[in-house]
Every structure is written in structure tokens, then in C-alpha cells.
């Protein structure tokens, strides 16, 4: 099985432009998460979804939005990108809410100029 796939692998984006990072899982996991990883700061939770149709804010949600129309997909949208959103973005999933074990995708490297 593929597990979690993310697209694109990397992207250079002009400030002020919008972009959607895609995340798809084939494990039928209920819970999904978006993190950003920055040097020295580790992984920080942006948004999460406990189940299809619900979403919640994490530690650093400002400037990002998510949707969860179905179990498999959890896109992350930057409505108007700023240079501080330059980061590596990881999507993750867990079988259900309350399970500490999370499975991560390969990441998207985003540079905002």
C-alpha cells in the first residue's frame, strides 16, 4: 500500500499567491494532521481532522485552511502565501483520534519568495 502521498514534492511560490498542498491516505484512517517542520522548531501542528467532515486548529493555524470532504483526502490551503510560510509540510494520519501513533507522508518543501 502507498500509505500517505503528498503533492507536490516541492514548490516555489510568489508571495501573495494561493496554493493547495494535497494529501491522500489509503489506510482508511479516521484522523489526519498537517504539520510544518522548521529548523530548530521541530514539527508543529497546523490543523487536524478527527473524522471526515470535521476539522480543528492546531498550534500554528493562522494563514492556513483545511477541509475534509472524505476519509482519504485532507488538503491544506494557503490563501495568500507569505515568506514565513517557507517550510517543509508533512501530512500524517492515525487510525482514530486518541491514538498516539501517527504515520507520516514524505513531505512538501515550500519556498515562498
Binding residues for another protein (CB under 8 A) = 4, 33, 40-45, 48, 50, 58, 90, 92, 97-107
Q: For residue 99, what is the enclosing H or E element? A: none
Taking the complex as a whole, the smallest distance from the CB of residue 2 to another protein amounts, in Å, to: 13
What minimum distance in Å lies between the beta carbon of 16 and another protein?
28
Q: In the complex with another protein, which residue's Cβ is closer, 80 or 97?
A: 97
CA atoms of 83 and 81, how far apart (whole Å) = 7
Q: Is the CB of 8 or the CB of 16 nearer to another protein?
A: 8
Which CB, 6 or 71, lies closer to another protein?
6
All residues at 6 or more sequence positions from 48 whose CB lies less than 8 Å from its CB, including other chains: 31, 32, 33, 34, 55, 56, 58
Minimum CB–partner distance for residue 105 and another protein (Å):
5
> What would the grid cell of residue 68 be?
475534509
Q: Which is nearer to another protein, 58 or 75 (CB)?
A: 58
| All residues at 6 or more sequence positions from 80 whose CB lies less than 8 Å from its CB, including other chains | 16, 17, 18, 63
Amino acid at each position: 500500500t502507498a500509505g500517505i502521498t503528498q503533492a507536490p514534492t516541492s514548490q516555489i511560490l510568489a508571495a501573495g499567491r494561493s496554493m493547495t498542498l494535497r494529501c491522500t491516505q489509503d489506510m482508511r484512517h479516521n484522523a489526519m494532521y498537517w504539520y510544518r517542520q522548521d529548523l530548530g522548531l521541530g514539527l508543529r501542528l497546523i490543523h487536524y481532522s478527527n473524522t471526515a467532515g470535521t476539522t480543528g486548529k492546531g498550534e500554528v493555524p493562522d494563514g492556513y485552511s483545511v477541509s475534509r470532504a472524505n476519509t482519504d483526502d485532507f488538503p491544506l490551503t494557503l490563501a495568500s502565501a507569505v515568506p514565513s510560510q517557507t517550510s517543509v509540510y508533512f501530512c500524517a494520519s492515525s487510525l482514530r483520534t486518541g491514538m498516539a501513533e501517527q504515520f507520516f507522508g514524505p513531505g512538501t518543501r515550500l519556498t515562498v519568495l
